[in-house]
A and B are shown apart, each in its own frame.
Chain A
Amino acid sequence: MSDVERREFTCVRCPMGCSLTVSLDDGVVTDVTGNGCPRGHAYGEHEATHPERVVTSLVRVAGDFRPVSVKTVSPVPKECVADVLAAVAATTVEPPVSIGDVLVPDVCGTGVDVVATRASA
């Protein structure tokens, strides 16, 4: 007999926040219900198998108390979020910084860059 499981999620792809029910059979998604759009279906499938998050945080700028804000350019595996935050917190950059500058390349070996989202003169 196979291992059938149902898991509930709130879709975060858009502010609608649809309540999703994802059915898994042996770890394989067999059905997603409750989604209002295909993005919700994809989210449910993704969230049930390998959840990811965009991480946003702050990087200190040498010589200025005002930090620059940063983000991962794409989502990183959810289990890596704490490590990514630690890596970002340990970083100090030299000004000037422009929006889009890569401040931490390939953060924590995720293959994802951390880029500036706010400039610093």
Chain B
Amino acid sequence: MRTTPCGHDDGSDVIVVGGGAAGLAAASAAASDGATVTLVEREGHLGGILQQCIHNGFGLHRFGEELTGPEYAARDARMVEADPSIRVLMDTSVLAVDGDDDAFDVTLVGPEVGMAHMSARSVVFACGSRERGRGAIGIAGSRPAGVYTAGSAQRLCNCDGALVGRRVVVLGSGDIGLIMARRMTWQGAHVLMVCELASEPGGLRRNIAQCLDDNSIPLHLSTTVTRVFGHDRLEAVEIADVDPRTLVPVPGTERRVECDTLLLSVGLIPENAVITATGAEIDQTTGGPAVDESLETSVPGVFVAGNELHVHDLVDFVSEEGGAAGHAAAAHALGDADRDAAPTWVRVTKGEGVGSLTPQRLRDPADEVTLRLRVRSRMTDAVISIMSGDAVVKRVRKRVVVPSEMQTVRLTPADLAPVTGDLVVSCSEREGVE
């Protein structure tokens, strides 16, 4: 690793913003293609949120074994740190990315570089996501200690060795909430319940089984927290049934649950402040930028991967996506002679049953395409259909699909050969299909 102080214009072919799973993979991939890379990480460690995910279950697809988060991060971090063409800047924040195409001016600040500008030919954003908090979901009441996002409590516990409470209610059955319900139980706290606004769980089914069922923690569906009580420390929450159709609390069903901790696991939002300022178009359904099949945004030379693109459930796919973005960024930086500068675009749009989808457009013709999507509702015996006009591009059968689990569909050049216009991706139960 080069550690020379940064001059005003000490550039790289590729600058990767964020040293979590996506950013580490992007940096390694770009470097393996011959690009010089600067990886900018705002915290004091590599691996991002993986460092606080001390549970196992990471890496089954990628490594064929179940690792914990820190172990998974360490594998990628070692590769990045050992790569002479990757420079890592820790505790360093990217404030702005200006310019376009292959002449980017990245403004950053950190202990090693001070206040600095660095040029790059392409930029990969891999800033992850942030948690929705109490204000965003409008819970009323007082403002005592004891109300945390699940991720904050996870960091305090798993990184700082501090336990936030002993009688815990979890709102939201997202994966972090389920994992934290088990963690708190295993550290000796009493987790009274997990409440979920929706009529089905928000997290992976394995986490419902392993985290809640194993520990006899009740899951209350169609239930939410409407109010918090307590002056200095949380004393109780008010929960209420929710109309499954309108998601509005049902008057008269309010009841008080005495607790000292409320953990919120009510959704993640792509962290897109800096990338938005580059002018990259944002997709309102994913919350992240709109991209093409190479994960390039509407700003040429700006790529994005991982939870900043759309919120994933499996780190293995985050790494895969980071790698893809890294390769594409390197190709852009090093001058991809084959690439059409003014391609014909095929739009990819959401059809029936599909809630969110990436990429939002493809080159025509495109190479391999990885579609990632979330369905709107649970379906059994489902078929994901990719249509181009009346032509079937691909159909994939799934025994069950749920909104909490991202679906991946790969399209080969052969699949895409009959494409004559925009693609529509839909998902429905098999009745009526063939």
Contact = CB atoms under 8 A, between A and B. Distances in A.
Do A and B touch directly, given a CB cutoff of 8 Å in the complex?
Answer: yes
Contacts of B188: 89
Nearest to B210: A12
A69 B214 contact: no
Contact of B206 (A12, A66, A118): A12
A56 B161 contact: no
Q: Which of A55, A71, A85 has the most CB of B within 10 A?
A: A71
Most B-side CB within 10 Å, residue of A36, A55, A56, A89: A56
B53 to A, nearest CB: 9
A12 B161 contact: no
A71 B72 CA distance: 13
B344 interface: no
Interface of B is mostly: mixed
B209 A36 contact: no
Contact of A69 (B66, B70, B314, B405): B70
Interface stretch (A21-29, A57-65, A106-114): A57-65
Nearest to B159: A66
A60 B158 CA distance: 11
A78 B214 contact: yes
Contacts of B204: 15, 17
Contact of B161 (A9, A54, A60): A60
Interface in A71-121: 71, 78, 85, 89, 99, 117-119
Contacts of A17: 204-206, 208-209
A7 interface: no
Contact of B54 (A36, A66, A69): A69
B313 interface: yes
Contacts of B71: 99, 117-118
A66 B52 CA distance: 11
B158 A58 contact: yes
Contacts of A57: 54, 186-187
B55 interface: yes
B54 A117 contact: yes
B372 to A, nearest CB: 14
Interface in A30-67: 36, 53-58, 60, 65-67
B276 interface: no
Given A66-B159, A66-B161, A12 B68 contact: no
Nearest to B157: A58
Interface in B164-188: 186-188
Contacts, number: 79
How big is chain A's contact interface, by range?
Answer: 20 to 34
Contact of A67 (B57, B161, B313): B161
B51 interface: yes
A1 interface: no
Contact of B68 (A15, A18, A60, A117): A117
A10 B54 contact: no
Contacts of A78: 214
A9 B209 contact: yes
A54 B205 CA distance: 17
Contacts of A36: 399
Nearest to A51: B214
A89 to B, nearest CB: 8
A14 B209 contact: no
Interface in B45-80: 51, 54-57, 60, 66-68, 70-71, 74
Contact of A54 (B66, B70, B158, B159): B66
Contact of B70 (A10, A15, A65, A99): A99
Interface of B: 51, 54-57, 60, 66-68, 70-71, 74, 157-162, 186-188, 204-206, 208-210, 213-214, 313-314, 399, 405
26 contacts: A10-B208, A11-B206, A12-B206, A14-B206, A15-B60, A15-B204, A15-B206, A53-B214, A54-B56, A54-B66, A56-B54, A57-B187, A58-B161, A60-B161, A65-B161, A67-B158, A67-B161, A69-B158, A71-B68, A89-B188, A117-B67, A117-B70, A117-B71, A118-B68, A118-B71, A118-B74
Interface of A: 9-12, 14-15, 17-18, 36, 53-58, 60, 65-67, 69, 71, 78, 85, 89, 99, 117-119
Given A15-B314, A17-B205, A53-B210, 5 more contacts: A36-B399, A85-B186, A89-B188, A117-B54, A118-B54
**Those 10 A-B pairs whose CB atoms lie nearest each other, nearest first:** A17-B205, A69-B54, A10-B209, A118-B70, A12-B206, A117-B68, A67-B161, A17-B206, A56-B55, A117-B71
